Amino acid sequence: METQPNQNLGIVVTGSVEKGTEVRLDSSASVEDMVVGRYVTIEGKKRRFFGMVTDISLGVTDEQITISPPDTSDTFTAEILEGTATYGTLHVLPMLTIGGEVTTINEGPQPVKTVPSHFSRVKLASEADMETVFGKEDNSRFFIGNPLDMETKLCLNLEELVKRSNGIFGKSGTGKTFLTRLLLIGMLQKSKATNLIFDMHNEYGWAGSFEGGKGGVKALKQLFPSRVAVFTLDEENSRHRGVSTDFVVRIGYDEIEPEDIGLLRQTLNLTDQAVEAVYQLKRHFGKGWMQQTLDISDAADVETLLQSMNIHESSFANLKRGLATIRRLPFLVAHAQTNAVDNILGYLDRGINVVLEFGRHRDITTYMLVANMLARRIYQRYQEKTEVAMAGKVTPPTPLVITIEEAHKFLNHDIANQTIFGEIAREMRKYNVTLLVIDQRPSAIDEEIMSQLGTKITCLLDNERDIDSVLAGVSGKNDLKTVLARLAPKQQALIFGHAVPMPVAFRPRDWGTAKSYEEFTHENSSEKKAEKDIKELFE
């Protein structure tokens, strides 16, 4: 018979604060009904403990049974031995206290600093226990999914989440994009932040795809048309996909700065001398340095220029080859008629979320150049606005969350100090800007950056270095490794960090059905009211 919430499972027999507690199962509780990742409560003498099952094992009172087991065809003997000579054991990691003589429910869940006494009763956590720990869905909490093997809603406080940078990790095909869409929907509905999403694979604007490419799903613009704007680098591709865009991004050569080229040193195979030459050329030519560098072709002019700036001919040739690669990008023009940064900021200032689709331009050179260029300039504007606000002259800018995929390309050990994304992650929201990083190789991200991420959501990982990187510094790391290793290949994840009181393995809520779309839009009453007002206006 399946185990029910609040049913007695067993009693505590041993334990420690560091290693957790061992629970001997009652004969009435089937070990096969126990699941790693489930939540239990422990009724101590003075406290109630809330913990996670991190391991399940079998035990015997007499080692002779393991040497000479009973005949399995003799069910009568097996039933007699079960629960007396043989038993099941749960390893439980207590994480919080949720009431009792010492800690009252009014104080809220508190971190565990002791262990329950011997023979304390252990029960499966009830829905009321889960709500005590994780809270109920309300104006600030967003329903993101259900704890494994439970129907209880797992809710995140999105206003707290956006106060720090966060990360979503998992190997390819595990559902990172699916989770990111959910989190973006939640932030759009429940937080006061706006989002700037660098959409490398065209998954977050008008429509996205299921993992594996089977069919399509509605994305942010379809669900919340008045609160999301789609920018594109590839207007033709957007038309082909039937996407109505709000702005076509064009970037002028005169907008590219030496720092942008330095970031692409490895991608463009530039030497250190070639990168240094960029700074010299910028000082010599000014804002139009790139166009003039590419245009100069007369051998005598080149020689005179190089001699005047003490640039080696081979370094200049190396630089020109790299710049020629960039010039071939179709969205780059000599001079852009409208400034993309100004337009993005205009939407963000009005509380409208911006998705920048890359269309067919999915190579890493394009992604790194555009994402870093725009983010650096937007962050600089936010910095200026925040400093003015700190002087008491204006209100601070609306908090901004920047979403980047392939995050290790911007935040690896070699260039994390050079990119704007590394600076944002370390600033801890000093200027009202945070990151949502998405990656399948967390071990490639700089350790300092990983340590600054407030909340991490990780799907299945099978690389030991990636697992260690994600769980670095987390209490109960070894126990959580066991939970993480047993996640399903798809649509299961482990969340831990600042936005949740304790780690929790969960199954994300449904997305892609008519019912799920109705639930998302129904939760956003202001969106529906705006659409209704517009409809009534033209009737």
Question: By CB neighbour count within 10 A (0-12 exposed, 13-18 middle, 19+ buried), where does 188 fall?
Answer: buried
* DSSP sequence for 325-384: HHHT-TTEESS-SS-HHHHHHHHHHTT-EEEEE-TT--SHHHHHHHHHHHHHHHHHHHHH
Length of the chain equals 539
Which token pair is 431? 């200027």
Q: For 215-249, what is each residue's pLDDT tens digit?
A: 688 899 999 999 999 999 999 999 998 888 999 99
Place of tokens 């010299």: 280
Alpha carbons 233 and 210: distance in angstroms, whole number? 23
CB atoms under 10 Å from CB of 200, counted, come to 22
The model's confidence at residue 318, banded by pLDDT at 50, 70 and 90, is: very high
pLDDT of residue 4: 63
Q: For 7-25, what is each residue's pLDDT tens digit?
A: 789 999 999 988 899 999 9
CA torsion 58-63-67-72 (nearest 10°) is: -50
Closest CA relative to residue 183, chosen from 350, 401, 359: 401
The model's confidence at residue 298, banded by pLDDT at 50, 70 and 90, is: confident
Domain ranges of the chain: 8-134, 157-249+339-528, 253-327
Q: For 138-196, what is each residue's pLDDT tens digit?
A: 888 899 999 887 888 898 988 888 989 999 999 988 889 999 999 999 999 887 899 99
**β-strands 400-404, 247-248 pairing:** unpaired
pLDDT of residue 85: 77
Contacts by residues 206-209 (CB-CB < 8 Å, ≥ 24 positions apart): 206/230, 206/241, 206/242, 206/243, 206/244, 207/241, 207/243, 208/177, 208/181
Q: What is the pTM assigned to this prediction?
A: 0.85
Alpha carbons 516 and 130: distance in angstroms, whole number? 23
Alpha carbons 417 and 371: distance in angstroms, whole number? 16
Task: Say whether pLDDT at 411 is over 50.
Answer: yes
Contact 224, 524 (CB under 8 A): yes
pLDDT of residue 535: 47
pLDDT of residue 62: 79
pLDDT of residue 334: 87
Contact 185, 217 (CB under 8 A): no
Alpha carbons 483 and 253: distance in angstroms, whole number? 50
The model's confidence at residue 476, banded by pLDDT at 50, 70 and 90, is: confident
In the predicted model, what is the mean pLDDT of the chain?
86
* DSSP sequence for 177-238: HHHHHHHHHHHHHHSS-EEEEEETTS-SSSEEE-TTS-SEEE-HHHH-TTTEEEEES-HHHH
pLDDT of residue 100: 66
Alpha carbons 127 and 146: distance in angstroms, whole number? 11
CB atoms under 10 Å from CB of 491, counted, come to 19
Task: Say whether pLDDT at 457 is over 60.
Answer: yes
Q: The CATH number of 157-249+339-528 is which of 3.30.70.20, 1.10.1740.10, 3.40.50.300, 1.10.3720.10?
A: 3.40.50.300
pLDDT of residue 105: 47
Closest CA relative to residue 264, chosen from 283, 290, 284: 290
Return the higher-pLDDT residue of 416 and 436: 436
Whole-angstrom distance between the N-terminal and C-terminal Cα of the chain? 59
Which token pair is 285? 């030519």
Place of tokens 């996407």: 243
Rg (CA), the chain: 28
Task: Say whether pLDDT at 66 is over 70.
Answer: yes
pLDDT of residue 184: 94
Place of tokens 């649509």: 491
| Percent of the chain whose predicted confidence (pLDDT) is above 90 | 42
- Range 391-403 average pLDDT: 87
